[in-house]
Structure 1
């Protein structure tokens, strides 16, 4: 499981909000609801807390008060939203693990098998994951809507969150289509990354600005900063998804290969590889039964193409653009830039 990107006291405060809200949700339902939601609850406080990190650091950069009650609720709502996205994403990708443990759908499938129920355990797990993922969407909006007593601020936060969900869904549909037609072009794959992850970090950064009562111009600047960071965050994720250590990242390193993910990394490899390398990629990339040995062959082709170096250059370029953007604005940027470097040079 990856290490958190935010300070421990910040994580602790947001986790307390998460657990209290989640338990209150379960307790407001039927008595068996808490038991049904156990696999989901196990995921709540794990992971990098990237949403919290970017939201809170933006909030503080704009003069937000750490003693205020609004920001922990906003961050907790964003973490619920992110977990909803991941829960659905793992169903779509058939991912086995998340945050160093069974993905939510796999945890429900294990419940089915352990109980000896009839029917298909895998199907049950996926159906349950879709249901509880939907619940997370609803509850994230419920929590966000109640985060601030200021009506105008609450409405602004909800606008950003709904836009975040819209953008994420659009990015997911772009990715799904590209996985089917297998047209891996750098610009097209960059569009997927920008909508799916760039707009996510843009939205959580914008929420931090709104939480600090920033003016619309400043909110727009923080949104732009977040999109730069989100795109580069995805570039790092793509590298870790292929070359990372699954024991550290908490995610398998063969999924992107077997699923034929439309990443900028693979698009650059295709555009830069020699004829033999392109032939190898076309033969192996997206093969559901790809072996570990063939995965190593693909990694070698990608490295030899120069794609890894180019992606690293793109990450650094986006950090540079973010530095320029913040230097032209009044925000206290040191913590934000430290977070950017930590997030984009992480190993998990």
Structure 2
């Protein structure tokens, strides 16, 4: 189906992405060799379709429209495939972080651990939950490729887009590894910025919008130039995420504001706080951050130190700077309307959000 005028309201586009995902998942119910078990299918369907900002499909869609691609089901399906890869990344990330909540619901490894415990099966529920979730994440990664290649666009367009899709997948895994390395020690601001560029910025904004542009037939130099829009905006997105991970309201964000601190997650926020802390503050950060039993009082003390060192204010400044960089590049790109306006709106939504 092609609309005469495609809706620019992200809510309407998200509904179309969700419909495409639901249709793809229906086709993979049990009865096929690659379906997984009924339990796996049920858990993944709930997880994939249970909300989410759908930023990656939105950036991909508007990258396509910005360079002359028409609205239609093929680009909706291709863009929605990025959400299955996002599901893979979230499931694995939640395991690595030991997170119990995602989008206000139990994480996938928690769901399977609880299933094991309720069923009275042999072995350790936590191990079962982790192992089952890892396999679910792997299945989402495989499905994302199947959905992308089966979107209905011609072979040459898919080939151009897949070059960037493959690069994105490798970057995310490399960034996740660097994040694991960083958690083992105290990383510098430069170290953490490298991680977030690889792990988050590129696969949240840069690669999706480049994939859309490449699918539409944009010139290679123009596709490459989109990184000057996507990289700073993706970094701003992650810097906001780090702030929400410590200062956010769990009732709004849908996840704990203790997990990052308990894990000792390497963030620019904490790197800035450590660099500006006096000896007493630095000692308290070393004692509190990374404590798996950190409670509300300890977390409040950490937040107070972050505020006192000026780290929170500096992060807000870094977000503003990166948003300005992204907007300046957006103004110089040869984008068609309504894509230019939609991407400008997405820039604000990605960087200035409460969840």
Specify if TM > 0.5: yes
Contact 1:148-1:154 at 8 Å conserved across structures: no
Q: What is the match of residue 136 of structure 1? A: 140
Distance in 2 separating the partners of 1:6 and 1:293: 41
Give the superposition deviation at 1:230.
1.0
Q: What is the match of residue 337 of structure 1? A: 344
Give the superposition deviation at 1:6.
6.3
Contact 1:13-1:72 at 8 Å conserved across structures: yes
Distance in 2 separating the partners of 1:187 and 1:204: 24
Unpaired segments of 5 or more residues in structure 1? none
Q: Deviations over 1:50-103 (max 9, x none)?
A: 11222223223333322x222111121100000000011111111101111000
Contact 2:40-2:136 at 8 Å conserved across structures: no
TM-score, structure 2 normalization: 0.92
Q: What is the match of residue 64 of structure 1? A: 69
Unpaired segments of 5 or more residues in structure 2? 1-7
Contact 1:284-1:298 at 8 Å conserved across structures: yes
Give the superposition deviation at 1:224.
3.0
Q: 1:212 to 1:163 in 2, by over 3 A?
A: same
Aligned residue runs from structure 1 range 240-319, under 5 A: 240-319=244-323
Q: Return structure 1 stretches of 4+ with deviation > 3 angstroms.
A: none
Q: What is the match of residue 227 of structure 1? A: 231
TM-score, structure 1 normalization: 0.94
Q: What is the match of residue 83 of structure 1? A: 87
Q: How many residue pairs align between the two structures?
A: 342
Contact 2:160-2:215 at 8 Å conserved across structures: no
1:16 matched to 2:19? The reply is: yes
Q: What is the match of residue 154 of structure 1? A: 158
Give the superposition deviation at 1:42.
0.5
1:325 matched to 2:332? The reply is: no
Distance in 2 separating the partners of 1:238 and 1:48: 17
Q: What is the match of residue 105 of structure 2? A: 101
1:126 matched to 2:110? The reply is: no
Q: What is the match of residue 5 of structure 2? A: none
Q: What is the match of residue 57 of structure 2? A: 52
Distance in 1 separating the partners of 2:324 and 2:68: 23
Q: Which moved more, 1:331-340 or 1:296-305?
A: 331-340
Q: 1:206 to 1:343 in 2, by over 3 A?
A: same
Q: Secondary structure at the match of 1:172?
A: helix
Distance in 2 separating the partners of 1:28 and 1:74: 25
Which of 103, 107, 117 lines up with 1:113 in the alignment? 117
Q: Which moved more, 1:319-328 or 1:6-15?
A: 6-15
